[in-house]
């Protein structure tokens, strides 16, 4: 099952290496990872998408991450109300006759053309990973020359819905 986990970390040298090394050593499969600075000086946030077998494995991922000296906070936000976004740059084969047709395809995705050459066209799209995926599939028939994705970055919405019984805890206590 895919989970979105965020880790707030201290911006010390080697921290990303330590964390990705930990995940590799413990055989946790990282699907995507994105890192950037936060509003606090010296603090960065890492967003992972990991594929884990079960809740027990998931608990291990978060515990092992939490154990790291530089890690301030780890949250599995998959089941929360969140905003999750990914940026993709897609370079496709194109020519002057196709441009309008492609424009028509990307418009509903609120993607934009950011570069045009004689025989290529580059598109920028931002959104949920599924949306990015959908656009890539639509553009694939034209011939994708180059594709770059940032991986998902995410955080919780400002307001969380009040659910009477939220089943998001993975405590082994049951």
Alpha-carbon distance 47 to 43, whole Å? 13
Judged by CB, which is closer to another protein: 46, or 121?
A: 46
Judged by CB, which is closer to another protein: 8, or 124?
A: 8
Judged by CB, which is closer to another protein: 67, or 110?
A: 67
Alpha-carbon distance 93 to 139, whole Å? 9
User: Helix (H, G, I), strand (E, B), or coil: what is residue 75?
Assistant: strand
Alpha-carbon distance 81 to 75, whole Å? 13
Judged by CB, which is closer to another protein: 33, or 125?
A: 33
In the complex, the residues that contact another protein under the rule CB under 8 A are 9-10, 13-14, 17-18, 21-22, 25, 56, 59-60, 63-64, 66-72, 172-173
Alpha-carbon distance 124 to 111, whole Å? 6
- Residue 100: Cβ within 10 Å count: 8
For the CB of residue 63, give the shortest distance to another protein in the complex, in Å: 4
For the CB of residue 43, give the shortest distance to another protein in the complex, in Å: 10
For the CB of residue 9, give the shortest distance to another protein in the complex, in Å: 8
Judged by CB, which is closer to another protein: 37, or 140?
A: 37
For the CB of residue 148, give the shortest distance to another protein in the complex, in Å: 27
Alpha-carbon distance 122 to 141, whole Å? 15
For the CB of residue 68, give the shortest distance to another protein in the complex, in Å: 7
CA distances to 32, 37, 54, 110 from 131, in Å: 16, 25, 26, 10
């Amino acid at each position: 099952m895919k989970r979105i986990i965020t880790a707030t970390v201290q911006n010390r040298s080697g921290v990303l290496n330590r964390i990705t090394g930990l995940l590799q050593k413990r055989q946790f499969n990282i699907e995507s990872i994105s890192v950037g600075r936060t509003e606090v000086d010296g603090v960065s946030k890492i967003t992972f998408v990991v594929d884990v077998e079960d809740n027990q494995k998931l608990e291990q991922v978060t515990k092992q991450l939490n154990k790291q000296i530089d890690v301030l906070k780890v949250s599995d936000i998959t089941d929360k109300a969140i905003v999750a976004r990914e940026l993709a740059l897609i370079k496709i084969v194109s020519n002057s006759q196709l441009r309008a047709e492609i424009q028509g395809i990307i418009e509903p995705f609120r993607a934009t053309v950011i570069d045009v050459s004689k025989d290529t066209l580059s598109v920028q799209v931002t959104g949920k990973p599924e949306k990015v995926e959908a656009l890539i599939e639509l553009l694939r028939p034209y011939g994708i020359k180059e594709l770059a994705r940032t991986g998902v970055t995410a955080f919780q919405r400002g307001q969380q819905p009040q659910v009477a019984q939220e089943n998001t805890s993975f405590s082994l206590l049951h």
